[in-house]
Structure 1
Amino acid sequence: MRVIRTDKWLLDAYDQPLELCEKLKHLFDEDVSAGEIHQHLIVHGMYREPLKNGDELIKELQKRRIWQIVQQEAKELQKEWNGPVIPIFILPADTNNRKLRHEQNGKSGLSFPDKLFLFVSEMNTEKEIRALLTHEYNHICRLSKYSKKEAEYTLLDTVILEGLAENAVRERFGDQYTAQWTAYYSNTQLERICMNLILPNRNTPKSGRKHAQLLYGFGFFPKMAGYCAGYHLVKNYMSKENVPSQDLLGVKSEQIIEKTDEA
């Protein structure tokens, strides 16, 4: 695993995020600009505008050895899950984003099949950052082991993807380090969400508008409906089959639902 020393990049060009994104261009399609990369990362949690104390933040994260901690945790996860070796980039989160602060404690992540981004802030503890890495790297392992192209994912595939990742966090760090959304609904409410919303729309393609609506709970749908349903479905499967989340990385999404329906 390679944790890129973005702290050195940031100390040189924290106030020039486009310059930082120029360093990432070789990881994306040739026709993608640094500006487009920056905008995409912003959507997923990267800082939008430099803060006055930006250098102090980077030095504080260095003092706390965040790059080394992520390197060690990533190495352990890669070995435990037999996952791919990918580059990991740590960048400051957008602490001016109220939703990010309140719902995710000022942290976020973004996974691609061949790279991973962690967006963190001074408010995050070491365990929170390790839990964030666990969630995001679990996505990469699922993408590499599940015999289906990501472009062909349906709502069910995405829901199970998210459910697997957060159950991996629960296994490694306990309920207290899982995302807030895992406690939004009771089991009865989750069963209704699964049966009335997620399963009837399980084949909705990733490109479809309804996919995002159900996954995040936009409009009149329950908040984070797909995420919560995925966590519930995977957790139930793990309990009934007495298996760890690691054993499910290559299991078909439909199989998890079939086992759930048998109960």
Structure 2
Amino acid sequence: MLSSVSSSTTRSDSPLVLLCIFILLLNLTGCAKVKSFFDFSGKEEVDVRLPVQELVAKGMDDYAVGKYFTSLEYFQEILDRYPFSPEATLAELKAADCKYFLEHYPEALVLYKEFEDRHPTNEAMPYVMYQKAMCNFKQIDRVDRDTSGAEQAIQLFGQLIRAYPESPYTNEAKARIKAAREFLANHEYFVVEFYLRTDKLKEAETRLKHISAMYPDSTIRPKAEELLARIQAGKAPKTNLSSWFPKMSLPDWSLFSSDKKEAPSETEKK
């Protein structure tokens, strides 16, 4: 009789014992391992993440055909997963390039500056300095708006020319400086128009003198000097002011809209 009761008790406790063992397995090995222990499908989890060399190849392939958004994702993955790899330096630079060609100029400028700070002796430094200047140059808008983009571009192009006078970007930098200075001269001339329309002749005279002194090579200088002479002779134009001011000073005037996309020849270097 006693043996029968003992046997019955053992059988009734068996499910509880099995449950305790299962919970213990969960704690010891983790859910994932237990799941795989009871998975009889024969399938194993595969790491689908790409190796760094393949990420570089895919990023460069997309970059070469103008797929800058997806290219940026590949380079960002390299920086996230392989930040200390030799390929990370290239990924930093190409991520900045992708931002630039996506026309995200402020973000690109930040990335170029970070690259310059981290790799000051990198052989791509002339290109990086050129691109920093271009990020500002590309933000030049209309002559009736903020001039900081042109001013910063002139400063940064000048730094490039002084640091690397023999670089392949020197001639282009000089041309961009000239274009940015032309923009600033036209901005000054646009302000003169405002002063004439509001009958502030003294202020207009000061601006015209500034154009002549600061931008002697600008295309607007001859017209500015002619207008200055009339004001000083007491014959400031009162009507038909549009004949004195070219269309480029109108609000819809846009500078350098026909720029071709720059070919970043040195970005392939590390």
Give 1 or 2 for the bigger CA radius of gyration: 2
TM-score (structure 1 length as normaliser): 0.28
More helix by share: 2
TM-score (structure 2 length as normaliser): 0.28
